[in-house]
Amino acid sequence: MDPLDVLTNLDKVIPYYQAIFSADEQRVIGYEVLGRIEDNGKIHSLGPFFQDENVPDEYRIEIDDYIVHTAIDEFLMLRDPELLLFINRDANLLMIDHGESFLQILLEMQDFGLKLKQIVLEITEHNFKGDTEQLYHLLTYYRTYGIKIAIDNIGKASSNLDRIGMLSPDILKIDLQPLRLTSPSQSYYDVLYSISILARKIGATLLYEDVEVNFQLQYAWKNGGRYYQGYFLNKPKSHFINRDECKDRLKQEFQYYISAEKKKLERLYHFTENFHQRIHQLLSKIGKQYDDYNQLLKELSIQLDDCCFRIYICDEDGFQQSVNIYKKNGWEIQPQYYLNNWSWRPYFLANIMKMRFNKKGFLSDVYSDIEKGDLIRTFSYPLNKDHYLFIDLSYEFLYDQEGLL
């Protein structure tokens, strides 16, 4: 619609509400306010209006304020102190008056029963063009009133994780729309994983949005999502839905996810136990037939040709005590890795301690190999009290094993 049509038809501007569901309660915990306008019996999103920088700031703020007032009036009629109301605000517009006009609206509504701890302010970090430190001070000021902060659209566009960390939001909203692509890149999954780690470090809750199909909900559930939002669960409506509307359905979906995950973990456990026994028996069979570790690796490469592409040995400080034996076209020696140190790798020393005390081999998570770029896992095994064997399992082998990728 033409921006002028929006400004001259304020009586047709209405808030819509999209429900947000929780994993722990399987019920609605809040609603996001979305701007809509009615035109000839049809409902249109006001997203393009708010995103159009050609529209003067004061006009966008006027429409935004009108929607917020209406939404809060309707929200208060629910009389439910546990519910949250998520309000989108352009951080650039917010900073024009250092957030005073928005805060004033909320403070005025306190007289009508609004509790500011029920308000979640949503901003999109990657669209902000101003001084991050000033924005941080404003958000910190809002928090003194109990207002929660959510960073929106993470994963959809370029996001600065350092800046997000500095803003210390209460909620991180991760966009799952790219997951609908035929084959999302591994880097997309890696970014989502990094965001989940950041959320844990700063104490933020993960909210996965744009959940449009079942496998997206399963991904969100499996990857630390406490809150979910999207058409698969509920489309935006002009009214607030019952909090328990999807409770039975969510319980059923989660039970399926739980059963599937338990079966996968069980398969992973059995594979690890069996592979541990395989390595143990191989080493017992080879015994002391080798004069040095390089000879041992050559023998192991013959016996493990079906499953791995790289084998090496390190001490407990991460210094490599052998060459790499590496499978390309055939097996080849890579002497340049001897005495390289790998203690800088995440979890390396923690894994050494795990082997030292458990005296058992274990399987790593799936990760991308730096040299090959393939998804792989590493099986680590304690050779003795000082040295540890590392066996990199190939993508092809993992692909053929149920539940290893």
pLDDT at 183: 66
Give the integer Cα–Cα distance in Å for 286 and 371: 30
Which residues have C-beta within 8 Å of that of residue 249, sequence separation ≥ 6?
Answer: none
Give the integer Cα–Cα distance in Å for 29 and 227: 8
Q: What is the pLDDT along the chain (405 residues), one digit of tens a residue?
A: 788 889 899 999 999 999 999 999 999 999 999 999 999 889 999 999 999 989 999 999 999 999 999 999 999 999 999 999 999 999 999 999 999 999 999 999 999 999 999 999 999 877 888 898 999 999 999 999 999 999 997 765 555 777 888 888 999 999 888 887 656 766 777 778 888 888 988 899 999 999 999 999 999 999 999 999 999 999 999 999 999 999 999 999 999 999 999 999 999 999 999 999 999 999 998 876 666 888 899 999 999 999 999 999 999 999 999 999 999 889 999 999 999 999 998 889 999 999 999 999 999 998 888 888 888 999 999 998 899 999 999 999 999 998 898
Which residues have C-beta within 8 Å of that of residue 356, sequence separation ≥ 6?
Answer: 316, 382, 385
Structural domains of the chain ordered from first start? 3-232 (3.20.20.450), 260-400 (3.30.450.20)
Q: Which segments of 8-86 does DSSP mark as H helices, in order?
A: 47-51, 57-76
3-state secondary structure of 393: strand
Helix (H) or strand (E) holding 256: helix 247-286
Give the integer Cα–Cα distance in Å for 161 and 55: 30
Give the residue carrying structure tokens 């080493």: 283
pLDDT at 288: 65
Beta bridge partners of 364: none
pLDDT at 89: 95
- DSSP conformation class of 336: G
- DSSP conformation class of 55: S
pLDDT at 248: 97
Asked if 31 contacts 240 with a C-beta cutoff of 8 angstroms, the reply is yes
Give the integer Cα–Cα distance in Å for 23 and 11: 37
Asked if 324 contacts 334 with a C-beta cutoff of 8 angstroms, the reply is yes
Give the residue carrying structure tokens 């084998």: 311
pLDDT at 289: 63
CA dist list (Å): 195 to 149, 192, 262? 16, 5, 25
Closest CA to 88 of 138, 34, 129: 34
pLDDT at 178: 81
Beta bridge partners of 35: 15
Which residues have C-beta within 8 Å of that of residue 56, sequence separation ≥ 6?
Answer: none
Asked if 383 contacts 283 with a C-beta cutoff of 8 angstroms, the reply is yes
Asked if 390 contacts 319 with a C-beta cutoff of 8 angstroms, the reply is no
Positive or negative, the Cα torsion across 213, 217, 222, 225?
positive
For residue 233, count CB atoms less than 10 angstroms from its CB and return exposed for 0-12, middle for 13-18, buried for 19 or more.
buried
